[in-house]
C-alpha cells in the first residue's frame, strides 16, 4: 500500500510567521505532528511519503503514485483542505481525512471516502482492520479518550527538516479548565492524559540524533495540567537530559497559575524552557467571569506575567475582545495591559464560537450565530453577533492592532520585556542562517524601512547594555515586522 500524507497550506496569519521565516530562509514554522504520528501507526511495510504544502508542491505524479491520500487539517486550513480534496477527487485517488477540522465538520466534506476522526489511537485500528477485509466504512469516530502511553514517536524521517524553524512534540492531551469559548475539552477532554517520561526522552533523543538543535514546541493544551507529574518526573528528567546538550530550547502553552508556583518556574527554566503561551484573554473581570476563565480571576495579571518572565520564560499572550461584558473602554484597556505587561507576542482576536463549545451552544440558543468561524485569530471576523455591535467591535479591534504593532509602541514593549527577562542558560549553536538573518534585518528593517529609528534604538540598546539578549532583541524586531504585515493584511 502506498500512502501519501498531505498537509494543507496555512493562510498568512499571526502564527504562521511567514514574513519572519523569510529572514532565516525557512518555509514553515513546524512539520505536521499529527500526520507524522499517524504515519507511525500505519503498517510498517506500507510505503509512506509526506507532502507538506507549506514547504513544497503537490504534483500529479505524487497523486498517481498514491493508493490513498491521508489529510489532516485545522479549522484555519478549511479552504486549503477543500482545494486539496478537489484535486484528489479529480485525480481519482481515495482520501482518508482526520484532525480537528474534520472531527468537527466532516459533514461539510462529502467527497472524502473515509473519515478517521477524534484521536487516531482509537479510530485508526478499526479502519485499518476493515480496510484489510475490504469493507471499510466512511466514518470512524469515538467518544472515548485513549491512553497515549502507547502512542508511537512521529516518523520525523518523512519530513525534510531543513525547511522548518521548530518542531512540535506532545506530552499531554486535555485541559482541566472549562473556558466556554475553547473546544479543547470537547475534542480532548478535561483530564490531562500523559505520555511517559521515557517516551518524551526517546523522542528528544531521536531528534537530537537527526541533528536537530533548534526550538522544540510542546504543543500540550496546558503543559502544567498535571503539575505534580511535571514537577516530580518530567522536568527533572528534562534537566538531566539537557546536560551536555547544545541548543534545543523548549516552549509550550500553560495557564496563568504557572506564576503561582516558584518551584515550577525554576524547574522549567532549568529544563530549558524559554517561552510560554498563556491565554490572558482580557483584563476585564466581568468578561473573565462570563467565559468561565476562573484561573485568571482575582489576581494581578500584570504581576503574574512579570513573575513568569523574570523566571526566564517569555510570555506570549492570547487576548480576546467581543465578550458581552466588554465595556466601550475595553480596547484601550487591552492596549494599556499589553504595553504595561511587556507581552511582545500579543495575539488579539475577536471572540469566536467554535463548534462543540458551550459558547457555541449559548449563541445558537440566543439566535446570535451568523456563520462558520474562520479559525483565524486575527482576521477581524467573528461568527457571532456581538452585543456592542459588529462595527464598533471591529473599529475598536483595528485600534488595538494599529497601536500595539505601531513601530514605536512595539519597540517600547520589547524594551519593557527585555528589562524584566532573565533568559535560561541554554547553549545555542551559532548557525549561518542566523548570522545572515541579522544582515537581512539590518537591510530590511534598519535601512529600507520607515521604522529604522526604532530598529536601531533596540539594536544598540541590546548590543551595549545587554549583549546576551542581543539575538533575542533582533528576533523580536523581525517578528514585529511579521506582525505588522499580518495586521495590515487583515485590517488595513
HEC profile for the chain?
CEEEEEECCCCCCHHHCHHHHHHHCCCECCCCHHHHHHHHHCCCCCEEEEEECCCCCCCHHHHHHCCEEEEECCHHHHHHHHHHHHHHHHHCCEEEEECHHHHHHHHHCCCCCEEECCCHHHHHHHHHHHHHCCCCCCEECCCCCCCHHHCCCCCHHHCCHHHECEEEECCEECCCCCCCCCCHHHHHCCCCEECCHHHHHHHHHHHHHCCCCCEEEECCCCCCCCHHHHHHHHHHHHHHHHCCCCCCCEEEECCHHHHHCHHHHHHHHHHCEEEEEEEEECCCHHHHHHCCCHHHCCCCHHHHHHHHHHCCCEEEEEEEECCCCCCCCHHHHHHHHHHHHCCCCEEEEECCCCCCCHHHHHHHHCCCECCCCCCCCCCCCCCECCCCCHHHHHHHHHHHHHHHCCHHHHHHHHHHHHHHCCCCCCCCCCCHHHHHHHHHHHHHHHHHCCCHHHHHHHHHHHHHHCHHHHHHHHHHHHHHHHHHHHHHHHHC
Query: Residues 192, 226: contact at Cβ < 8 Å?
Result: yes
pLDDT of 347 higher than 80: yes
Provide φ and ψ at 221, rounded to 5°: -65, -35
Q: How many angstroms separate the CA atoms of 48 and 30, rounded?
A: 19
Q: How many angstroms separate the CA atoms of 340 and 334, rounded?
A: 10
pLDDT digits (tens, 9 = 90+) for 306-335: 999 999 999 999 999 999 999 999 999 999
pLDDT of 9 higher than 60: yes
| pLDDT in the model for residue 256 | 97
pTM for this entry = 0.95
| pLDDT in the model for residue 323 | 98
pLDDT of 434 higher than 90: no
Which of the two residues, 371 and 103, has the higher pLDDT score? Answer: 103
| pLDDT in the model for residue 422 | 85
Query: Residues 477, 345: contact at Cβ < 8 Å?
Result: no
| Start-to-end Cα distance in the chain | 49
| pLDDT in the model for residue 302 | 97
Query: Residues 177, 222: contact at Cβ < 8 Å?
Result: yes
pLDDT of 492 higher than 60: no
Please compute the mean of the pLDDT values over residues 117-141 and round it to a whole number.
98
CA dist 87 to 11, 80, 82, 94, Å? 18, 11, 9, 11
Q: How many angstroms separate the CA atoms of 148 and 226, rounded?
A: 15
| pLDDT in the model for residue 430 | 67
| pLDDT in the model for residue 491 | 65
pLDDT band at 424 (very low <50, low <70, confident <90, very high): confident
- For the four alpha carbons of 159, 55, 214 and 148, in that order, the dihedral sign comes to negative
| pLDDT in the model for residue 488 | 86
Mean residue pLDDT across the chain: 95
Percent of the chain clearing pLDDT 70 (strictly above)? 98
Percent of the chain clearing pLDDT 90 (strictly above)? 91
Please compute the mean of the pLDDT values over residues 180-199 and round it to a whole number.
93
pLDDT band at 79 (very low <50, low <70, confident <90, very high): very high
| pLDDT in the model for residue 239 | 97
| pLDDT in the model for residue 20 | 96
| pLDDT in the model for residue 427 | 67
| pLDDT in the model for residue 476 | 97
| pLDDT in the model for residue 378 | 83
Please compute the mean of the pLDDT values over residues 247-261 and round it to a whole number.
96
Give the bridge partners for 72, in sequence order.
98
pLDDT band at 379 (very low <50, low <70, confident <90, very high): confident
Of the candidates 164, 218, 215, which has an alpha carbon nearest to the alpha carbon of residue 192? 218
Amino acid at each position: 500500500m502506498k500512502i501519501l500524507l498531505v498537509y494543507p497550506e496555512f493562510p498568512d496569519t499571526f502564527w504562521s510567521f511567514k514574513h519572519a521565516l523569510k529572514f532565516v530562509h525557512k518555509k514553515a514554522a513546524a512539520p505536521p505532528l499529527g500526520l507524522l504520528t499517524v504515519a507511525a501507526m500505519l503498517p510498517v511495510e506500507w510505503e509512506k511519503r509526506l507532502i507538506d504544502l507549506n514547504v513544497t508542491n503537490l504534483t500529479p505524479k505524487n497523486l498517481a503514485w498514491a493508493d490513498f491520500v491521508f489529510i489532516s487539517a485545522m479549522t484555519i486550513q478549511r479552504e486549503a483542505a477543500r482545494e486539496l480534496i478537489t484535486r484528489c477527487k479529480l485525480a481519482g485517488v481515495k482520501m482518508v481525512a482526520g484532525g480537528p477540522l474534520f472531527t468537527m465538520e466532516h459533514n461539510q466534506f462529502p467527497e472524502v471516502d473515509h473519515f478517521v476522526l477524534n484521536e487516531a489511537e482509537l479510530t485508526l485500528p478499526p479502519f485499518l482492520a476493515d480496510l484489510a477485509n475490504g469493507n471499510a466504512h466512511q466514518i470512524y469516530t469515538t467518544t472515548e479518550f485513549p491512553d497515549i502511553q502507547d502512542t508511537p514517536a512521529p516518523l520525523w524521517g518523512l519530513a525534510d527538516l531543513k525547511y522548518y524553524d521548530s518542531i512540535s512534540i506532545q506530552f499531554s492531551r486535555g485541559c482541566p479548565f472549562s473556558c466556554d469559548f475553547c473546544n479543547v475539552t470537547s475534542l480532548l477532554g478535561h483530564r490531562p492524559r500523559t505520555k511517559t517520561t521515557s517516551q518524551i526522552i526517546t523522542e528528544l533523543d531521536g531528534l537530537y540524533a537527526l541533528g536537530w538543535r533548534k526550538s522544540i514546541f510542546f504543543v500540550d493544551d496546558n503543559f502544567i495540567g498535571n503539575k505534580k507529574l511535571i514537577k516530580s518526573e518530567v522536568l527533572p528528567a528534562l534537566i538531566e537530559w539537557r546536560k551536555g546538550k547544545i541548543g534545543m530550547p523548549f516552549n509550550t502553552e500553560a495557564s496563568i497559575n504557572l506564576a503561582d508556583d516558584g518551584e515550577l518556574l525554576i524547574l522549567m527554566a532549568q529544563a530549558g524552557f524559554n517561552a510560554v503561551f498563556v491565554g490572558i484573554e482580557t483584563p476585564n473581570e466581568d468578561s473573565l467571569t462570563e467565559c468561565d476563565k476562573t484561573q485568571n480571576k482575582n489576581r494581578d495579571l500584570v504581576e503574574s506575567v512579570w513573575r513568569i518572565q523574570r523566571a526566564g520564560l517569555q510570555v506570549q499572550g492570547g487576548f480576546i475582545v467581543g465578550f458581552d461584558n466588554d465595556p466601550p473602554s475595553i480596547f484601550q484597556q487591552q492596549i494599556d495591559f499589553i504595553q504595561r505587561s511587556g507581552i511582545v507576542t500579543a495575539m488579539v482576536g475577536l471572540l469566536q464560537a467554535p463548534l462543540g463549545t458551550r459558547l457555541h451552544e449559548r449563541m445558537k440558543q440566543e439566535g446570535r450565530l451568523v456563520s462558520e468561524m474562520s479559525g483565524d485569530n486575527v482576521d477581524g471576523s467573528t461568527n457571532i453577533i456581538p452585543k456592542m455591535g459588529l462595527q464598533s467591535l471591529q473599529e475598536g479591534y483595528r485600534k488595538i492592532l494599529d497601536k500595539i504593532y505601531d513601530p514605536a509602541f512595539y519597540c517600547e514593549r520589547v524594551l519593557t520585556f527585555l528589562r524584566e527577562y532573565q533568559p535560561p542558560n541554554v547553549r545555542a549553536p551559532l548557525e549561518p542562517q542566523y548570522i545572515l538573518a541579522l544582515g537581512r534585518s539590518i537591510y530590511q528593517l534598519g535601512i529600507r524601512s520607515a521604522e529604522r529609528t526604532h530598529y536601531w534604538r533596540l539594536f544598540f540598546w541590546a548590543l551595549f547594555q545587554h549583549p546576551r539578549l542581543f539575538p533575542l532583541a533582533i528576533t523580536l524586531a523581525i517578528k514585529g515586522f511579521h506582525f505588522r504585515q499580518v495586521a495590515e493584511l487583515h485590517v488595513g
